Amino acid sequence: MKRYVFIEETAYAPFLWMQSLEDPHLCFVVVNPLEFLASYQIDVKPVEIQSLELSDLSQARILSIVVVREDPALITANLQGPLIINPATCQGKQVVLLTDRYHTRHYILQEAGQLQSEAPDTRGE
């Protein structure tokens, strides 16, 4: 399958659906990994970026495929194989990072919980 559309629903933000236009039964949940891991960095071969007609990654939309489980604590994102999308041409691809810093099953709610516990409490202000 090569043709997809992104579906955004405010109620499910920051998650999106990546729906196949060729098979109505094929749909992936995706998320921008920076939503839960601010330090996320992509290290890929320059040819990967060039093949999408990008001069650098700052022009790209980066997403990770999410696996949703019945227990929300077990929801994972594939940080080792992000999707790189050129918004100008609507072309994209999944790449494998050059580093082994990330995993294919990164528990994102644990990461989000760490972010919340590190945030200052501003309720009394």
- Rounded-to-10 torsion of CA 109, 60, 93, 81: -30
Which tens digit of pLDDT belongs to each residue from 99-114?
889 999 999 887 766 5
**Total number of domains in the chain:** 1
The whole-number average pLDDT for the span 34-59 is: 93
User: What is the rounded average pLDDT for all residues in the chain?
Assistant: 88
Which tens digit of pLDDT belongs to each residue from 64-94?
999 999 998 899 999 999 999 999 999 999 9
Tell whether 18 is covered by a domain: no
Tell whether 124 is covered by a domain: no
Tell whether 74 is covered by a domain: yes
Instruction: Give me the residues paired with residue 85 across strands.
Output: 61, 92
The whole-number average pLDDT for the span 28-57 is: 94
pTM of the model: 0.85
Tell whether 82 is covered by a domain: yes
Q: Is 23 exposed, middle or buried (0-12, 13-18, 19+ CB in 10 A)?
A: exposed
Residue 107 lies in domain: 32-118
Q: Residue 83: which CATH number?
A: 2.30.290.10
Tell whether 62 is covered by a domain: yes
